Structure 1
Amino acid sequence: MMVDGPSAKHAQRTSGFRRVRDQRDLRPNVNPQPAGRRIDSDGNFLSPLRQLTTNLVDTYHICNPQFRYESTHNPRRVLTKPSKPVHNDGYDNEDYDYILYVNDWLGTEEGHKYLILDVLGQGTFGQVVKCQNMKTHEVVAVKVVKNKPAYFNQSMMEVTILELLNNQCDPNDEHHILRLHDSFIHRNHLCLVFELLSSNLYELIKQNQFQGLSTQLVKVFAAQLLDALTVLKEARLIHCDLKPENILLKSLSSPQIKVIDFGSACHERQTVYTYIQSRFYRSPEVLLGNPYTAAIDMWSLGCIVVELFLGLPLFPGTSEYNQITRIVDMLGMPPQYMLELGKQTNQFFDSYADMYGNKKYRLKSIEQYSREHNTQEQPGKQYFKHNTLPDIINNAPIHPYKSSSSRASSHEVDKEMANRASFIDFCMGLLNLNPLERWTPQQARGHPFITGEKWTGPWKVRPI
């Protein structure tokens, strides 16, 4: 055997290497643990690094048996922006928002106290923070309302409505309506304590790359929303701001949902506000300035279920004029009585006499509307290749995740197209321009798309 030569000499000079003869030479060398080193609850020896980091609290306790860790002693990270004290003896910022810190607390010594953990969201009404009930240790969401009379009064109405819904209309928490746990005043701010929920449906659409959900999953969500809206309808309440952001999953592991944010809700006899509903989900009667009823929530529901299926909003108006233009382009003109009653009709439509002397209306051109309102209206972006709702839904791609295999079989395609035919009919009942003919939640719940009955053709609504 040759032992001389450059490679052999190099091997002899290289320290730290040894010849591998069999598997025994591949076994690791495990150094014995130094004497006196602590072990954790799993029986593993702790390195000095771990004793001074992840196990620091135990290390302190060994050094001082009197030591007890309290999260309230942690540094307080500010959660509110801007955070400069301006109003309310320095407790509020310039926007009258309460300046919130991590590990600060909300509540009173006599009542419930809530330890602030993190911020969940911010809006015109105020802020929502994740908190822990210091008595029960339950983690909740707390809405901290701005220190302004208008927001305070509106939020007190929200408390009244939720107490009615939770205690009388849905005492067993069966109808997908947000639960209010507590309410109190903290340094002039009304605070509402809610159950903690998960992501909203807009975030779900976004996580799915705006490709839309299956008809089956849309049906599951629609059935729950109709259940909630039935309870509201029977209580003669209107949500007034139904949209994907106000529908939350209970958890990421289940399609169970809850309707939230009753801050704009009202009783059918108290429809005093005219500027309601988020624009994409705003009903024709509200756009035209007509009196409105709970039917406006059903219009919003129609917009939501189509958006869940397509992944994109059906009427993404850039202004009220653009909104009504999109609706008219897809669904046609509103009924004559709505145009004649509407306080805002003349903003968007011109009236003229036809050849028989009858009064008619036509939508103003973009140039005319811009000139009259001193704006620069732009044609809205077109998200869809087709113009009618049936064509848009039928031509949406059948994604692999909408069928059981990577390529849908002809049987699955036929089944999907039958589901879509039923879905189109369901949506058209919700998106009826005439609120007097638009389906109520009780009627819509009987549609084959919701019940799962075989689709045989246009559904005749049953009077309620």
Structure 2
Amino acid sequence: MVVDPPPKRRASGFRRVRTVHDLQPRVEGNSAARRVTSDGIYLSPLRQLTTNLVETYHICNPQFRYESAHNPRRVLTKPSKPAHNDGYDNEDYDYVLYVNDWLGTEEGHKYLILDILGQGTFGQVVKCQNMKTHEIVAVKVVKNKPAYFNQSMMEVTILELLNKNFDPTDEHHILRLQDSFIHRNHLCLVFELLSSNLYELIKQNQFQGLSTQLVKVFMAQLLDALTVLKDARLIHCDLKPENILLKSRSPQIKIIDFGSACHERQTVYTYIQSRFYRSPEVLLGMSYTASIDMWSLGCIAVELFLGLPLFPGTSEYNQLTRIIEMLGMPPLSMLNTGKQVGQFFDSYEVWNAHTSQNERKYKMKSMEQYSREHGTNEQPGKQYFKATTLQDIINTAPIPQVKSSRCSGNEVEKEMANRAAFIDFCQGLLNLNPVTRWTPQQARMHPFITGEKFTKPFVVCHLAVSYRHY
């Protein structure tokens, strides 16, 4: 006799799953066992153990108390040993910054320190949260020294002028200054938070260089910004890839670091511009104008395309040597007026039969002579390119698609046409003579920027406000 087994009993609390709907969680929102907020909302276990964790701990242990001051304080400044300013500054007069510390005051704006973004001779830049708007921003904390304080106050003045009077709608790729205040004797400047700089972009690309199309996109934006600066009669004085930042992950960029900027009528400093991007007139000790920014722009344009700096000088002498080897001697008008010319050149007189008078000529000092006279040990420096002319360096740069054999003859022809326009564009920016070097307004008319077909060298008429493409 066969007896059917008794039906299996389900454990208490379990229910049979028949459909997908039975797998959905059922939350009893008004369970009597749950806490209720002041608004009468029942708290789920997830919220009780996350956003309401402090209250949960307090219920478990009435003696528990939480204070934000107990948060971990990871030090961000190096060195971090207190030395000045009642222990708030280190030996370099940098403010010693900690994660979860505050900048600002209760009465004014307060900024919660999140992380370090960078450090330089001027001070530090930290990532912060504006506790009033909850926006993530970048705060420059300037060194506690009068020279840096005064220069940074000039940066505040210049950015306020640009932001309010010349670019009020934030259209011209210039950094926005949001706030400024004093915190324990340190001037703090609050900026919009941007992404990585163009040097980092080149580095991420293994220093292989960017396409002419992407270089064009960047150059058009930089020329737009420099046009605004020229209208405001301002000189940036330190244009380089590190001072051009991307907005998020888009090809939109902004010029930053106006700490060295000045008005055209107040060009008091002689040691300006980072060496690789330093103009011939600054190297020679001449008075300078906004055209020095255009020289820097030409150096940046070539570096973006090649992936390596065009003039990586190891010293001012080496920098000038590299420029002259590629572009030739500066005009006599520059050599006759530069205050530093005697450091780099020997001068001598030559009789001119046509004018019946002596003419001054210049010859660059040899590396050995310069080293002997200045007590240095000059070296030739590393050569990044086999070619010696700007045209050959650009034209012989590899085309990425050709390496993978996917580039047709038409594409190569199109690329070389783009390069021809690019070479002509760069030559206008890297003009040794600042008087005839293109202005931002003139460079914006070049076919490389406008997209017009390039057939012959672009010629600018300097005597009239008109531009012609011959």
Verify same fold: TM over 0.5: yes
Residues 414 and 106 from structure 1, CA distance in 2 versus in 1: closer, same or farther, beyond 3 angstroms?
same
Which residue in the other structure is 2:441 paired with? 442
Equivalent pairs counted in the alignment come to: 418
> Secondary structure, in 3 states, of the residue corresponding to 2:458?
coil
Q: Give the superposition deviation at 1:221.
A: 0.1
1:177 is the counterpart of 2:178: no
- Match of 2:205? 208
367 and 68 in structure 1: CA distance in 2 versus 1, 3 angstrom threshold: same
What residue number does 2:337 align with?
341
- Gap change, CA 1:424 and 1:72, over 3 Å in 2: farther
- Structure 1, unmatched stretches of 5+, are 1-31, 36-41, 46-50
Match of 2:123 in 1: 126
The one-letter code matched in structure 1 to 2:300 is I
Distance in 2 between the 1:247 and 1:57 partners?
39
Cα contact 1:128–1:144 (8 A) shared by 2:
yes
Q: Which residue of the other structure, out of 295, 299, 306, is the alignment partner of 1:303?
A: 299
CA offset at residue 110 of structure 1? Answer: 1.1
* 1:249 matched to 2:246: yes
Aligned to 1:286: 282
Shift of 1:74: 1.6
Letter in 2 for 1:383: Y
3-state SS in 2 of match to 1:143: strand
TM-superposed CA distance for 1:64, in Å, is: 3.8
Distance 2:135 2:67 in 1: 17
* C-alpha distance 43-312 of structure 1, shift in aligned 2 (>3 A): farther
Decide whether aligned partners of structure 1 residues 219 and 44 sit closer, same or farther in structure 2, where only a CA change above 3 A counts: farther
1:71-220 alignment to 2 at 5 Å? 73-220=70-217
The CA distance in 2 between the partners of 1:127 and 1:359, in whole Å, is 49
Other structure's SS at 1:341 match: coil
How far residue 135 of structure 1 moved from its aligned partner, in angstroms, is: 1.1
CA distance change for structure 1 residues 189 and 417 in 2, over 3 Å: closer, same or farther?
same
SS in 1 for 2:459: coil
Matches within 5 A, 1:313-324: 313-324=309-320
Residue in 2 aligned with 1:378? 379
Structure 1 residue 184 displacement after superposition: 0.2
Q: Secondary structure of 1:353's partner? A: strand
Identity of aligned residues (%): 80
> Structure 2: which amino acid aligns with 1:295?
S
Seen in structure 2, the aligned counterparts of structure 1 residues 44 and 68 have a Cα distance that, compared at 3 Å, is farther
Are the aligned partners of 2:280 and 2:432 in contact in 1 as well (CA < 8 Å)?
Answer: yes
Q: Return the alpha-carbon distance in structure 2 between the equivalents of residues 69 and 307 of structure 1.
A: 53
Partner of 2:418: 419
Q: Return the offset for 1:108.
A: 1.3
| 2:391 is the counterpart of 1:395 | no
Query: Partner residue of 1:460?
Result: 459
Task: Tell me which residue corresponds to 2:30.
Answer: none
Query: Relative to structure 1, is the Cα distance of residues 425 and 56 closer, same or farther in structure 2, using a 3 angstrom cutoff?
Result: same
Amino acid at match of 1:415: K
Tell me the CA shift for residue 58 of structure 1. Answer: 5.8
Shift of 1:358: 1.9
Alpha-carbon deviation of 1:354?
3.1
Deviates more, 1:214-223 or 1:406-415: 406-415
Equivalent-residue separation in structure 2 for 1:307 and 1:172 (angstroms): 31
What are the Cα deviations for residues 77-136 of structure 1, in whole angstroms up to 9, with x where unaligned? 111111111111111111111010000000011110000000000000000000000111
C-alpha change, 1:71 and 1:303, in structure 2 (3 Å) is: farther
Aligned AA (2:162): L
Q: Are 2:49 and 2:56, in contact at CA under 8 Å, matched by a contact in 1?
A: no
Structure 1 range deviating more: 199-208 or 81-90: 81-90
One-letter identity of the residue aligned with 2:363: R
Cα–Cα, structure 1 residues 285 and 391, in superposed 2: closer, same or farther, change >3 Å? Answer: same
User: In 2 relative to 1, CA 216–99 (structure 1 residues): closer, same or farther, beyond 3 Å?
Assistant: same
Shift of 1:190: 0.3
Match of 1:270 in 2: 266
CA contact (8 A) 1:57 1:69 kept: no
The amino acid across from 2:322 in the alignment is R
Report if the CA contact (8 A) 1:443-1:462 is conserved. no
1:353 Cα offset (Å): 2.3
RMSD across aligned positions (CA): 2.4
Can you list the C-alpha shifts for 1:27-82, whole angstroms capped at 9, x where unaligned? xxxxx9999xxxxxx9699xxxxx99x96666665454598987664211111111
- Residue pair 2:54, 2:66 contacting (<8 A) in 1 also: no
Q: Structure 1 residues 146, 127: closer, same or farther in 2, change over 3 A?
A: same
- Matched residues in 2 for 1:352 and 1:170: separation? 50
Find the aligned partners of 1:139 and 1:286 in 2 and give their Cα distance.
38
CA change 1:43–1:173 in 2 (3 A) is farther
Partner SS state of residue 461, structure 1 = strand
**Which structure 2 residue ranges, 5 or more long, are not aligned?**
1-10, 15-23, 28-44, 353-357, 466-470
8 Å contact from structure 1 (residues 244, 304) kept in 2: yes
SS where residue 96 of structure 2 aligns?
coil
- Asked if residue 360 in structure 1 is aligned to residue 354 in structure 2, the reply is no
Is 1:350 matched with 2:346? Answer: yes
Residues 383/59 of structure 1: CA separation in 2 closer, same or farther (3 Å cut)? same
Q: Give the aligned residue type for 1:431.
A: L
CA distances 1:214-272 after superposition (whole Å, capped 9, x unpaired): 000000000000000000000000000000000000112x1000000000000000000
Is residue 58–residue 65 contact of structure 2 (8 Å, CA) maintained in 1?
no
**Distance (whole Å) between structure 1 residues aligned to residue 168 and residue 359 of structure 2:** 54
The one-letter code sitting in structure 2 at the alignment partner of 1:440 is T
2:425 counterpart letter in structure 1: F
Cα separation, 2, equivalents of 1:91 and 1:320? 38
Separation in 2, partners of 1:322, 1:382: 12
1:226 equivalent to 2:223? Answer yes
- SS of 1:271's equivalent in the other structure is coil
Give, in whole Å, the separation in 1 of the partners of 2:95 and 2:26. Answer: 46
